Chain A
Amino acid sequence: MAYQQQSIEDHRISSEPFYLPLGEEVSIALAAAARRLPLLLKGPTGCGKTRFMRYLAWRLQRPLVTVSCHDDLSTSDLVGRYLIKGDDTVWLDGPLTRAVRVGGICYLDEIVEARKDTTVVIHPLADDRRELPIEKRGELLTAPDEFLLAVSYNPGYQSVLKDLKPSTRQRFVSLSFDYPDERREALIVSKEAGIESSLALQLVRLGAMSRGLKDSGLPEGASTRLLIQAGLLVQSGIDVQTACLVGIVESLTDDPDLLAALKEMVAAVF
């Protein structure tokens, strides 16, 4: 049935995801998990935050429940709700509750996108109380030691209308992510897209060039994700330049000058 509770086993990660550590993030996250401290991952888009969480879940052998936040996300969407089934009603746990019950990891992606009245439900979970009140059922869940809360956000140019409240922010251990250096990023791109390392290096250089435009009107340069995407297109037989145009350049901007410059960069690099 459609509203059947998804089995938590679906959230277990059975094989090791490829993750190339860039600093001390793995040991810090493991320490935080052992100390039952929540994690705040910040960094530009597509730099490996989600991948890192998958890797961490695998390392800890805990299920990972991911929620992508948006401004329509309600508290019920996180905590759970009653559903009608025939003449009966059944309670359906939300993803957050589910993760708390089984001692898994709950990862709230792009937390700033959620409305502030929604984010407050995580407050009692994210401090030393570690509890989740389920008001409708009059239930107070206390999180087991294995439960880990993680949230992410992108601190780049951001709308002043959306910002993390200090009371939310100051509950977390923060891990800062950024794009890796040339060598390691090329390694990631080549591995993920299955392309030769020389081509990966060229893609990475193109990415670095686009990031050089940060002060010139391009708020965010090409992410590792975009570079991989272009690599995958090449792998499927698309010509490199075209792959870069549709896979990277056009996804970055609509500004005609920036487009022209980025196209010239593609033509210059390949």
Chain B
Amino acid sequence: MNEQACKERFYQLIHPSHPNEWEVEDLLGRLAGLPADRQEVLLDQVSPIWPVSHSLCLAFLEQGVRRIAVPDLLLADWVRALLQRYERDGLRGARTLLDDGGVKFLASREQSSAVTLEQIAPWLSLFVAGLAGEAMELTAGQTAATDTVTLRLPPEIDCAGDGTANTVLYKMVAAVHVGFVRQGTYRLVPGNNDLAAVRMRFDVTPPSGSRPSLAAYFALFPEPQLAADLFFIDECRRAMQWIESRLPGLARQWRSVFPELRQQLAVEPTSIGTAVSRLALAVLHDPFEPDRRGDPSGAAANPWPALLECYRQVADHGGAYRRPLILEMLGHHDFSGAAEQLETRRALVREAFVRQLGRLLADHHQQASEGNGGTADQVEATQIMLVEEGEQGQTTCRLVLHIDNENCQLPDELQALAAEILQDRGRIPAAYIAAAVGVAGGGVSSGHHDDADAAGPSPGPAPGARLVDEWDFRRNGYRKNWCAVYEKELPLVQSNFVAATLQNYHGVLLRLRRQFEMMRVDECFVGRQREGDELDLDAAVEARADRRASTAASDRLFIRLQRNERDLASLFLVDLSNSTRGWVGTVIKEALVVLCEAMAAAGDRYGIYGFSGMRRSRCELFPIKRLDEPYGEAVTRRIGSIAPREYTRLGPAIRRGAELLGTSDARTRLLVTLTDGKPEDYDDYKGEYAVEDTRKALLEARGSGLHAFGVTIDRQARDYLPRIFGSDHYLLIDQVQQLPLRMVDLYRHLTS
């Protein structure tokens, strides 16, 4: 690149900022003097650094023009270290790492035994999923914590002397937090008398009317953090006991690194800190050590009195309290996050329970009234009870619905919901049943303006619109020609995105191409053909025998090499809604490139359409690759130009996609929907309405002979994916980086 080109590229990279020319002129001039590949390598780092600090970015380029000791492969790591240092110590700090061209960075890398989350996340996330029984999202956070859905872990652990030990620490910290979830830490709430005990002890008056919660409870102590930490340590005991009994192997690994850690972390600057640290270390050393509460089962029957007592003892040391290092390493409880997740979950379960029970009651009532010759007495008048059946304490306790002196089995889905509510609340709240009766009684919960769009009547469809119906579950019927779907062209942009992806995925693509080519050359010898290259001995013998037995003998006596035509067409629908902004978006683009490359090897027919839009009057479908279009420059340019747009009205996109795929004459047709979350539009296309419409759209697609699958990147998705796609018809991706591979793997799996 000459100076002018360099300048243009630079301004493009940092758009929309626009520094004064004189600030960068000299620098870019010297950059232009470098060989082209050096220019690229350096400019590649502008995007990550510039948004964090303009000065650091310019300093980096300065240094880059002068001298860099770091090999290209490690450049991204170095830049990450620079940014981390910048965030901690500012520009001055970052410059100490920058000015030597990376010599110090390389040296520290050589001897460092630190383990980063990034290094181990690919398998650690799966390990955690195994421990937790379901996928949990891993993210980096200052200290470890979980809200029961996401697990935050420190970005790096460097407490122990070698990498293996640090890895053990990662596993241990993760296991402790999973242990909290599995042992029910986040379901513990102190009772009113426990609050009263603390109030009396410290003579405080709490803000009136506050419901008992852990936050309110800790707030009563003079030093809330200390109380919370003592509780944390006590819960660590239960988590450790769980680990000891469930994961003895991990416990053994832990014991091998623990002594070193204990030595390092035993002493704190204050005596109160040391006391707390000792308590924590004792628990970590042996969680079964004579339990203060003498409760060997590890159940948290009533931890509150002991906590108060322990607080008293520790607080006697006096002085200000600061969290000791050992606790910083172990993390903390995220009660508010967990409470939020619990509320979300409860609301979902409640909604589903009420809806399904409502339907069941309505059905039952209808049958009953038909039987009675149509005297439609109110559902309310019937007596409804949920009775527990089966032995107490057994895992197989079934709920039975008792209506009008009749017992009625609950369908499995409802049974599971009821079990979850029982587990959570100990009983089925009467309000739930009342709400279900309300639903059944004909009063479909109101609050919906029926046929009017939120913002008044929408204008008639513009030319080129394709009108599709939408399913309204509340009235159990379609809204005719409700949505207008338009096909819109994506701009063709020139970018090196595709080239970069091909390079990044070089190794993977080699493997994929081989695998997919193997699907293509699905050649096999088929016997019993009328004509062919060789005699089919089995068939010939059989025919001879048949003739001897004087029955009609077959004339299919040959073997032929048959190329198994994969008579298959697939359509991929890709969510381009605004929520994909950022990292998800890039990975989606990469996934499409990888997919196209693999498909090219298999030679299968396929199309890719993006979708987005706003309101029913403007649902948009963006052809990225039409079904018969070859994979070429135009396609890659469209992939390059994919950008997040508006909302996710899934139903119309699926209906139109199914229509397009329906025009193909392939024998097997596969519709794959890739989304990053729940269907949701700007208007009241959300929640249950959107889920039900999407489900309906997929049922229609299946009804017309298509196979439909979903791929989703959303940690909440477990709640609604089975409902939308049906079990075993979706793939949930919890580590977004895995999308490209998982998606093509799914395709391969589905079609071989």
Contacts and interface: CB of A to CB of B under 8 A. Distances in A.
A217 interface: yes
Contacts of A270: 248-249
A268 B126 contact: no
Contacts of A261: 123-127, 129-130
Given A89-B549, A157-B728, A74 B123 contact: no
B544 A215 contact: no
B211 interface: no
Contact of A213 (B130, B707, B728): B130
A82 interface: yes
B164 to A, nearest CB: 12
Contacts of A157: 728, 749-750
Interface in A247-261: 257-258, 260-261
Interface in A59-97: 74, 76, 81-84, 88-89, 91
Contact of A269 (B122, B247, B541): B247
Given A157-B749, A159-B750, A160-B750, A265 B127 contact: yes
A254 to B, nearest CB: 11
A76 B542 contact: yes
Interface in B112-158: 122-127, 129-135
A110 B3 CA distance: 67
Given A161-B568, A268-B171, A216 B135 contact: yes
Contacts of B542: 76, 81-82
A129 interface: no
Contacts of A138: 551
Given A157-B750, A215-B732, A261-B126, A209 B707 contact: no
B550 to A, nearest CB: 9
A217 B745 contact: yes
B571 to A, nearest CB: 13
B728 A155 contact: yes
Nearest to B134: A212
A210 B728 CA distance: 17
Given A215-B734, A268-B249, A159 B551 contact: no
Given A88-B548, A91-B549, A159-B751, A264 B745 contact: no
B176 to A, nearest CB: 13
B728 A257 contact: no
Interface string B541-571: 1101110110110000000000000101000
Interface residues of A, number: 42
B106 to A, nearest CB: 27
A194 interface: no
Contacts of A155: 728
Interface residues of B, number: 49
Contacts of B545: 81-84, 89
A181 B750 CA distance: 29
Contacts of A213: 126, 129-130, 135
A205 interface: yes
A267 B745 contact: no
Given A257-B123, A258-B126, A217 B742 contact: yes
Contacts of B528: 74
B546 A136 contact: yes
A156 interface: yes
B548 A89 contact: yes
A161 B248 contact: no
A269 B171 CA distance: 13
Contact of B395 (A161, A181, A212, A217): A181
A136 B551 CA distance: 6
A217 B122 contact: no
B312 interface: no
Interface string A150-172: 00000111111100000000000
Contacts of B175: 268
Contacts of A88: 548
A210 B250 contact: no
B544 A265 contact: no
Contacts of A137: 551
A216 B751 CA distance: 20
A134 B521 CA distance: 36
B639 interface: no
Interface string B697-715: 0000000000100000000
B548 A82 contact: yes
A257 B668 contact: no
A21 interface: no
Contacts of A84: 541, 544-545, 548
A219 interface: yes
Interface in A85-136: 88-89, 91, 136
A234 interface: no
A193 B551 CA distance: 52
Of the candidates A81, A83, A209, A270, the one having the most CB atoms from chain B within 10 angstroms of its own CB is A209
Contacts of A209: 130-131, 133
Given A84-B541, A181-B395, A209-B131, A156 B728 contact: yes
A265 B122 CA distance: 14
A138 B129 CA distance: 59
Interface string B733-752: 01000100010010001111
6 closest A-B pairs (Cβ-Cβ)? A261-B126, A82-B545, A209-B130, A260-B123, A268-B250, A261-B123
25 contacts: A76-B542, A81-B545, A82-B546, A82-B549, A84-B544, A88-B548, A136-B549, A138-B551, A158-B750, A209-B130, A209-B133, A210-B130, A212-B132, A212-B135, A215-B732, A216-B129, A216-B732, A219-B749, A262-B126, A265-B127, A265-B131, A267-B250, A267-B253, A268-B249, A270-B249
Given A82-B551, A212-B130, A262-B130, 6 more contacts: A138-B551, A158-B728, A159-B749, A160-B668, A216-B125, A217-B742
Interface of B: 122-127, 129-135, 171, 175, 246-250, 253, 395, 528, 541-542, 544-546, 548-549, 551-552, 566, 568, 668, 670, 707, 718, 728, 731-732, 734, 738, 742, 745, 749-752
